[in-house]
Structure 1
Amino acid sequence: MTTGDDAGIGYSDGSEAWLHTFFTDHAVNEYELYPKDASWAVRYHLSPRRKTLLSWIDFGPGGRILELGAGCGALTAHLASLPHRITAVEGSPDRAAVIRARLPNAPNLEIIAANAVGLPYDGLFDVVTLVGVLEYAGAFVDGPEPYARLLAEARRYLAPDGCLILALENRLGHKYLAGLPEDHTGRPYDGINGYPGGPGVRTFDRPTLEAMLGRAGFAATRWHYPSPDYKMPDAVVSQAALTRDGFSVLPLLELPTSDPGGRAVPAFGERQFLRSTLSGGVAGHFMNSFLVLAAAREDAPLLAANAGTLAVAVNADSCPPHFQTMTRFVDKGPDGVVVTRRNLHHLPPLSFAAGRQQIKASEPYHLGYASFLEMIVDAVEDGDPARAGRLLIQWMERVASRARPGNPALAADFGAFGRNQLGADLYPGHDNEHWLPGSLLDAHPGNVLRHPGTGDVRYIDLEWQLACHIPLQLLIDRGVNLVGQKLKAQARYLGLSETAGLPPAMDRMLARHPLSRRADTDSLARFTHWLFAAVTSGSLDHRLPGVAP
């Protein structure tokens, strides 16, 4: 079907022919690992992370959804999995053909090749989505105010209590302020400088966008911020999360922001910048992307259904579907915040001899607590590596207090694990030292919290667990390595060597502490390689190549 103004938009990123052939030749599970050796344009359309933008939203039990500018169907695939009637409108006939090849058996999906404006849909839809589309209105919508017209058309298509879902880049996002190339033009600071030369595409800052939505009839708005951006998010945080007393947003954000083209790195420390903006109450103006739920009325059902969600974090592209998870942070008002976790696809857990994935369905969020990892990074950013070193040692001593003396049986079990799965003896010479339950494998500094006032310590998110006990030194080495990696990623902004990891003052403190003197970097590297391979392969009974069954 072809309809709307100027049907047949010639937009292309060069991936359409490859994708059409790929979907024609393959029955695709949208959440399986995609071909990592493909071009960025192809990976962008195939990555399961695309769906994180919408997969957390409660769309209700049914109704009609209109997707304007459906592209090559990455989000259409998620929408078509809902119990709703979906109309996907795409201006490029080639891209509409890709969607048909991608979703040939979706009975609730109608695909239309048409412009997003001028459609005969007065008041028909419960939800309209505009994801990565408003930016291009200047190129495909006629009239003196193309952006205003597109928003007005979206409002016209909605039922009186319907909701618009709008996603786009923030012109003043921290990655753009830090000099990363503008996503649409490829030039740094283009948006900040007002798009000189009129490239035909543009993004907006929050006050401007909020005013545009108001003029289009969207009086009620709820602001969310996908991280690292709306294109490939692994987390979404709400404006309410930024202002909820005691809620920590920074651990959910992917920092520093990476440039997909590998051409640039941020010119300043985005984490330090966001700490300042969070403290000043203005962080929402500088997040990289916006995801706005907008309606004409405050009582719109979709706004009410999603009002309590502070944030979500999704693991969707580093492991097979039976390991993929969604973590949701729900504000219960005076009853605090609850953390819920589940398999992303509601799949039951699998059983393995070597270990398990532990997903705790629900637990309280510890408002006001901070992880040792975040406190350590804060201290280094504040120019106090000695305090950072003391915090790391406090974490080491805390987990060491959970250890028990070794015995031949514990050592034999761990030795059998190493030989069976890795073909190697890990941590030789530690038989008579202290050991931890395998359930504490993930008790690294990012998963151990402390309250700054009371000193109370809590353990969270102990997801990956081994069936056997582990040497205390393995967890110590994992934790120190994690801290080093976190600091190394920000070394250029902290005045640190990009090869050293820890600041010299921290290194000296650790060298004097008995818990760090037996570090075994070779065993840690072998174990880390196995754990990564096991998770990405989908089996904790995974054997490294060359290990006999």
Structure 2
Amino acid sequence: MKNEIGTGIADAEVLSEICEVIRTTSKADYGKIIEQRATYPWIYHLAEVRSNIVEWLPINREDAVLEVNAECGALSETLLEKADCLTYITDTNLQREIVELRLKKNVPDYEKKDVTGYTGKFADIERELGKYNVIILCGVIGYASQMLAEKADDPYRTLIEILKRHLKPGGSIVMADGNRLGLKYLAGCQEDHYGGYFNGIHDYAGCEGYRTFTRKEYQKIFTEAGLPELQFYYPYPDYKFPSVIYSDEYLPKEGELNDNRRNIDRDRYMFFNELSAYNTLIAEGLFQEFSNSFLLIASERGTN
């Protein structure tokens, strides 16, 4: 099936356009703008559904929240609406300008909030960071090797160990990312970052710089980093555009997972009927292993 919306990377020119739109229009108009532009960067950065991944989290106004790699603030608004203290990190000054505009324009009582933004490489910023109740890693952990000051044998575990030092007592890290064994990749979706087929399923052979993990692999990373209290959730269709988030206590029933053609950013094949495959996995108790994405809440033992 060819992607009818088309693909595109959010380069500086596109981000400049997004910045101007946010500066001059109301949030209520974002939907119309997405329809007019109809390309992936506009959907990814402006679609309201993006915030579903964090909207339900038990974050209180008294909590201090750190968002690592806030990009263009698709989640930042919701995080600041829930908590009165938000620290966020962006890669570029233009991204930071976009986040600042969104927060100031769209978050009620912004002037009463405690907001701090940083721009640059995580390794350079890390020494400036304080302590937080919640640390958000959305689509971040796969870049760990590029975020550290020094090369590490296991950069993913090392990144979590570093972030753990910035947790307040009882705090948690919330991670959302892909599953390299997600059913959609078996069924013909291209890998999100490399654009090839079966990259993750082949354990990223020949690929360097980014990766995702299986449920068991994420569990190992966080446990060895000193955060063994783990709660797994399962965003569907995926963590980028979730319409529902399942848990081990509330798993999908046969016939529910029927929204499987939403592959916005790349072309794909359809090697088999994903709904039928999901029904089989559900019946066999295997849905969790093949969920397209995971959301994981990790903390020290006894703190949840």
Give the TM-score range, shorter chain: 0.7 to 0.9
Match of 1:22 in 2: 21
Aligned residue type for 1:294: A
- TM alignment of 1:499-518, pairs within 5 A: none
Match of 2:78 in 1: 78
Distance 1:235-1:227 versus aligned 2 partners, 3 A rule: same
Q: TM-score w.r.t. structure 2 length?
A: 0.86
- TM alignment of 1:519-530, pairs within 5 A: none
Secondary structure class of the residue paired with 1:171? coil
Deviation, 1:34, is 4.4
- TM alignment of 1:402-417, pairs within 5 A: none
Deviations 1:329-356 (A, max 9, x none): xxxxxxxxxxxxxxxxxxxxxxxxxxxx
Contact map agreement 1:223 1:290 (CA 8 A) in 2: yes
- TM alignment of 1:54-65, pairs within 5 A: 54-65=54-65
Match of 2:140 in 1: 133
Cα distance in 1, alignment partners of residues 33 and 161 from structure 2? 37
Aligned residue type for 1:21: E
Instruction: Report 1 or 2 for greater relative contact order, CA contacts < 8 Å, sequence distance ≥ 6.
Output: 2
Match among 226, 230, 250 for residue 241 of structure 1 = 250
Match of 1:119 in 2: 126
Cα distance in 1, alignment partners of residues 292 and 50 from structure 2? 16
Match of 1:143 in 2: 151
Match of 1:200 in 2: 209
Cα distance in 1, alignment partners of residues 200 and 169 from structure 2? 34
Secondary structure class of the residue paired with 2:298? strand
Cα distance in 1, alignment partners of residues 253 and 29 from structure 2? 31
Q: Percent identity?
A: 27
Secondary structure class of the residue paired with 2:137? strand
Match of 1:169 in 2: 178
Deviation, 1:137, is 1.8
Q: State the Cα RMSD in Å.
A: 2.1
Aligned residue type for 1:236: I
Match of 1:95 in 2: 95
Distance 1:262-1:134 versus aligned 2 partners, 3 A rule: closer
Aligned: 1:44 with 2:51: no
Contact map agreement 1:185 1:199 (CA 8 A) in 2: no
Match of 2:285 in 1: 281
Deviation, 1:269, is 1.5
Deviations 1:479-513 (A, max 9, x none): xxxxxxxxxxxxxxxxxxxxxxxxxxxxxxxxxxx
Deviation, 1:259, is 2.0
Contact map agreement 1:90 1:114 (CA 8 A) in 2: yes
Contact map agreement 2:177 2:212 (CA 8 A) in 1: yes
Distance 1:33-1:82 versus aligned 2 partners, 3 A rule: farther
Deviation, 1:260, is 1.2
Aligned residue type for 1:157: H
Distance 1:134-1:250 versus aligned 2 partners, 3 A rule: farther
- TM alignment of 1:178-197, pairs within 5 A: 178-197=187-206
Distance 1:32-1:262 versus aligned 2 partners, 3 A rule: closer
Deviations 1:103-143 (A, max 9, x none): 23533222111333452367611000000111122333341
Match of 2:66 in 1: 66
Deviations 1:371-421 (A, max 9, x none): xxxxxxxxxxxxxxxxxxxxxxxxxxxxxxxxxxxxxxxxxxxxxxxxxxx
Distance 1:30-1:223 versus aligned 2 partners, 3 A rule: farther
Deviations 1:346-369 (A, max 9, x none): xxxxxxxxxxxxxxxxxxxxxxxx
Provide the aligned length of Structure 1 versus Structure 2. 284
Deviation, 1:56, is 1.4
Deviation, 1:264, is 1.6
Aligned residue type for 1:119: E
Distance 1:95-1:155 versus aligned 2 partners, 3 A rule: same
Match among 293, 298, 303 for residue 294 of structure 1 = 298
Contact map agreement 2:188 2:270 (CA 8 A) in 1: yes
Larger radius of gyration: 1
Match of 2:229 in 1: 220
